[in-house]
Amino acid sequence: MDNSQKRKIIVAIDGYSSSGKSTMAKELAAKVGYRYIDSGAMYRAVTLYALENNMIDPDGNVDSGSLGKALGDIHIDFALTPQGQHTLLNGEDVEHRIRSMEVSSHVSPVAAIHSVRQALTALQQRFGTEKGIVMDGRDIGTTVFPQAEMKVFVTASPETRAERRYKELIQNGTPAKYEDVLANVIERDHIDETRAESPLRKAPDAAVLDNSHLTHAQQSEWLLNLFHESELKANGSEC
Ligand code: DC
């Protein structure tokens, strides 16, 4: 069976913040010719909208009623640019702004709001109707695509993840302190794991990847092998 005849699959990559899942997901998608969707970017874009429209007070409380009503006015999409895939919020490229510490520190309470999750889950499912996608997030294998043919749960220690996020911020020219980044990682883990709706959980049928001590090449190889196995399984014994 050649590649064009193969039945495409859905790849769900969930895990903790800054576990490196986006990089892994992006690379896998490019290697196998699938579309990559960053579901965290969608929650970040909604958070940016809420911040810009004064729906989050100085204490960090989100006006969930107003945000719920505004969801119909929030249009999120992705565009392929020479710098990679960028997130669009109502047509505007917000890729850089959604990665700021301000958005990072307000996104968890926004992602815990029922109406926000409902709207974004529906949008994510629309992206998957044709299959052939790699989507990363927190609840992709449990809630968005419980039927995904390949599920991965990525983890690493909070210190390893804070170090990565800190380096990323500094490289992008965003001022940051390691201690603040670590505190943010720990706080987000807690909110993501304990929220009532779609908490961060490993799907029972997900393969676990703890990448605290793995090289980039080892992770890529592991992921690609799992993809080929999953694709083979989805195509029966014909491929
Ligand atoms: O992966 P990230 O750090 O860019 O995600 C940003 C936030 O969005 C994170 O706090 C958890 C939330 N999120 C979620 O609740 N569900 C998803 N599918 C993806 C992200």
Tens digit of each residue's pLDDT, the chain (239 residues):
666 678 999 999 999 988 889 999 999 999 999 999 999 999 999 999 999 999 999 999 999 999 999 999 999 999 988 888 899 999 999 999 999 889 988 998 999 999 999 999 999 999 999 999 999 999 999 999 999 999 999 999 999 999 998 998 899 888 899 999 999 999 989 988 898 888 899 999 999 999 888 899 999 999 999 999 999 999 985 54
Distance 231 CA to ligand 1 centre (A): 27
**Ligand 1 atom with the shortest distance to the CA of 41:** 4
**Ligand 1 atom with the shortest distance to the CA of 188:** 10
pTM for this predicted structure: 0.90
Distance 114 CA to ligand 1 centre (A): 14
Of 22, 32, 10, 117, give the one whose Cα is nearest residue 78: 22
Distance 195 CA to ligand 1 centre (A): 12
Ligand 1, CB cutoff 6 Å, lining residues: 17, 39-40, 43-44, 107-108, 111, 137-140, 188, 192
Protein residue whose Cα sits closest to atom 15 of ligand 1: 111
Residue 117, helix vs strand vs coil: helix
Q: Are 156 and 210 contacting, i.e. CB atoms less than 8 angstroms apart?
A: yes
Contacts of residue 97, Cβ cutoff 8 Å, sequence gap at least 6: 48, 103
Which among 104, 127, 138, 194 is the best mutation to test ligand 1's pocket, defined by most ligand atoms within 8 Å of the CB? Answer: 138
Distance 59 CA to ligand 1 centre (A): 21
**What proportions of the chain, in percent to the nearest 5, are helix, strand and coil?**
50, 15, 30
- Structure-block tokens of residue 222: 């592991």
Distance 104 CA to ligand 1 centre (A): 9
Q: Are 200 and 57 contacting, i.e. CB atoms less than 8 angstroms apart?
A: no
- Structure-block tokens of residue 187: 């706080």
